[in-house]
Structure 1
Amino acid sequence: MKQLLVNQIWQLKNKCYRILYIDREIEEIFWINSDDCNSLPESIGFEEFNQLKKNDYFNLLDSSDEYGDPSTYKAKSLDKWNTYCNIVDLAKSEEPQIYLNSYFNRRCSEIASQLGVSRMLPRRVFLKYWKGGKVNLALLPKLNNSGGKGKERKPSTKKRGRPNTFTKNNINVDDKLKVLLQAGFKKFYLDIEHASLETAYENFLQSKFYQETLNREHSLIPSSTQFRYWGEKKYPAHERKKRKLGLKIFNKDFRTRTESSLINITGPGSVYQIDSTKADIELVSSIDRSIPVGSPTLYFVSDVFSRMIVGVLVTLDEPSYYTAARALYNAIVPKEQFFKEERLNEISAFEIKNEDWPCNYIPDAIVADRAELLGHQSNNIIQDLGITIENTAAYRADLKGVVENHFRVLHTRIKGADKNFGMKGLNHKQRGVRDARKDAVLNLKEYYIAILSEVLVYNSSKVLDAYPFDEQLILDIPSPTPLKLWNWGIKNASGKLRPNNIPELKQRLLPRKNGKINKNGLRFNKLWYNIASNG
């Protein structure tokens, strides 16, 4: 005969029993069915127990109990565990009478009254304690068996999920209805741009459950919560946003950023980014300030490595190859020369020195929109200057994140200066909003100076907290600004900047077209020009 021990588990056919107490005086064993959550302790005599051992279907199981670690539980779970332990401590020493059903039920009622809890709580706690091996750790929540988050429950006759409180729709969703709900969610909500969820649900009922809705047969109609739940389960958030907004807007404004602009960037001048936008300001004529001239076009040229704004152009012309070439020219030439050629030196209160803005180099590559620098006109930039031009896809401003961020930062700073100098508000197109042209006071050169002032402040003082640093960069530049990164990169990084030593740079950036010469003169761009003779 094998030695009997408390907590041994014996298998009797398809049931498992855990031994709770052995009374050798009366030769009685108390055990409990550990497979049935509601079973109470039972008693069996030694003689009957020994008879069962002779059968092949009665075996001793080799098992070890696994318990959780209290240090891994939250405070709320530990408070509940302490309450359970206190319940067990009140009757832990009352063996073996606690295993008698009548005494056990009476004792549970007394403990419930003493602690102010329900009568069933002590009963559940004791059963869990006994079936878990009579240790307090068995009373910890079984987190490994809880939840089932993300797992879909199998349909049955009983409705899944909580019952509806405010409506009578309590239909159980089976596989067939689930497919119907998901197809309706796509057809009436996702595929219709401006459809609200409520409208989509109503259209779905009119299409698939018209008669049931008409007869108010609520038990046969899915609820709006079920319609939304099963639709969102099949189509995750990013997929729903992509379908509602369209692929172009999603990729531009909501796509998850998985890469950095600094990939394959070796130093200053490796890649410049160029872009233009309509400025949110109304300007006036420099001759007669009572005449508004419209909103200017603002160009920025930015260095990806240092986040430096290397070139600026403010013009009243619309975006074109010519204006983009002017902006690129301003980024390459020394800034004192640029300042004079744009005739900004006529405003004596402001000046630029080359050491304040030391960006007068030719880059290795330029990233631009599929607009100004796309086409045969940019061939002279590629051939004469040796600059590689990369055009981004349409509606993908995120592919030029550095220069796009400069527009946001600079416009925010200028808008915060004063509201009464012609700046357009976010709702400037709405009816009843004051026309910004009535408040316009700046002419083109004055606004040009305001932009350049903010550019110089940004380049010299903007601390780039989110810049991806390496170890050497952190040691050399504790608080990096675009100007410090630019100077550091020229000395330490293997950039691809080239000096501006190309003669007739402005002429090489101008657009080129073919003309024809015959006896009548020169025909160019649909115009005739007379060729003067020398004699």
Structure 2
Amino acid sequence: MKLAENMLFKYGSGKVIRVLYINPFTSIIYVIDMDSNRWSYPIPKDDFLTAYQNKEMIEENDDIYCRAVPEEELNELEKQKRDQAWEIVTFFKSKLSDDEHMFISKYRQKAMKETMAVFSISYNGLKNILIKYFKGSQTKCSLIPSYFRSGARGKERKAGNKKRGRPRKNGENAGVNIDENIKKVFKIGLNRYYYNTRKNSLKTTYELILKDFFVKEVIDENGVKIPVLNNVKDLPTYEQFLYWFRKSLNDGKREIIKREGTRVYQQNYRAIIGSSTQDAELGPGTLFQIDSTIFDCHLVSSFNRDIIVSRPILFLIMDVYSRLIVGFNITFESLNSYSGAMVALANSMTSKKELCKKYGIEIEDNEFPFCVPNRILSDRGELVNGYINGSIQNLGIIIQQTPAYHADYKGIIEQAFNQTNIKILPFVDGAVIGGNSKRERGEGLDYRLKSSMTIEDFTKVIIKSILFHNNHHVLSDYILEESMIENNVEKIPIRLWEHGLKYKKGQLRILPEEVIKTSLLPSQSGLITPKGLSFKKMLYASKYALENNWFQMARIKGNWKVKVCYNPTDLTDVLVFDEHGDGPFKFSLLEHLSMYSGKGESEIEQIKNFERELERTGKERELQEKMKLFTEIEDIVKEAREKTEAEKNYSKSNSRRLKGIKENQKNERLLHREKAKKEREMEVILDESIEEEDEFAMFRDWEESNDDE
């Protein structure tokens, strides 16, 4: 059995423990009882393994204690309490020289005293926060208040006729209910008067907003226009303006840049970061780097190889300590896209065995390792979005960003892209040569016309290249440590990774795959219908939904919305949260939509566009043929009309003509039968005459042949 941090084990008595830290030198394992409020305690590794081998305890795979809570599901109070607790935990950890000291009383008590003094928190209050942090896999999400599922979960109340908020005393202006229109006015006013170098105060900004949007002009007896405020009961108060400014309208970074300047922000307010290898010597999983590039070859469509679909975007994630590539993603999304980066990160933190198997490549996890890192370094492209930052930090990961125009901060991953190009480009068709894929004057065929690989083919090539890099590539420029030289460690990423695990890091940090994916992957609303889960114009189902009669209820009570987390590069399966926030539940494509299995959002859209184009072309031909049909019908009707007019007896009255229609139909049927009978008899006579003629023809041929002799 391979131990890792955050693993759960259950004793026969029902007691559940979580592994918090493993000391590789002393072989001491620190665990915590998930059902009590006591501190963690140490267990000798040999005793732990003996209990496991004797089946006194078993591994618990269902981690119900580590919750996956999407950021948008939390209200402001929950976020505030979580962030406050996270700040306390971060300060506490900063007072310890080693992670193991969190679990040793004499070191922990000293750090707790300093933390209690700074944050004015009691001993029991700090203890509860730390124990909650340890039990919840030591992530930011673990500090979310336990009542996160109750109530309306942070949803804003709709504005009605009754004033929201506490009643005012002494006849004070209670203000008005702030709806979307007034919030829009607040935003316009802030952009106009607050986010600029004039440095107006919030009070002045509020008053200028009243002047622009809450006055009416009155002309006095001299013809002068005088601005007059609306009725005081129809005005938002300054306290309301301040409340919404602090709650959702303010952007702290933008405020500083617009009022103080970019230089001041960069010097005094931006996150403090170091070089690309800062603290990476602590071991594998300490620091990951992420980057993306437009790869230098053109691909063709996976559903029609005659269609060229330009160049793919390649995302790579590398462990700085070992230079091992831990994750990747290939997409046609825009460079530095949200979904591309997040799918790559999820890939780096989860097993790649099933993904590689999908492409016919069998691997073991030790050939393509994974873990949850402590920090991630990116440039200003991939992880600049605030929502992305929150999602990653919820996993207990710190984000570092390089300054603008400082590609040298991520030199090792830039080199990985170069090495990948060197290995692949000499062999692939449609490659960009000399930085230009277009045909120059006097040269031969355009390179793009030679394209032959689909995104599936290209993914296989990238996986093979990564496996070679991880397990065989020699890092000539890597500087070995003294302990590496003593142990004859080869300069190969996987060997450096293994050495770091044994002598540096000890154990990797892992989290349940569902927690990682629901935190990182993009999410949208899906619709439960009688036909299945409708998402991205496709239908999904799951065993859980069928057992709980979701689709039957949709037919009886009507459709309802659910939250869907999905991988934009592969829509075969999606993760679904029900209307109560429970889940995630895995849903798969219905069998009749298996043609879309393994395909991403962009590929499916290409297929649907191709189908629409075929339908459009067919409709055009149909319309042309329909015009021809109309003309032919008109000609037939015209001829029939003329013949009928010629034989029509105008001496008959209308009533006489309409009389006996059923009898006429019967006679007409008999006439058709008689006509058909005569036609069949005529066919028999013609066949017999043809046979007789053929017999005489054979006799004449025989006579002619005898005469010739």
Taking structure 2 as the reference length, the TM-score comes to: 0.34
Bigger helix share: 2
Taking structure 1 as the reference length, the TM-score comes to: 0.44
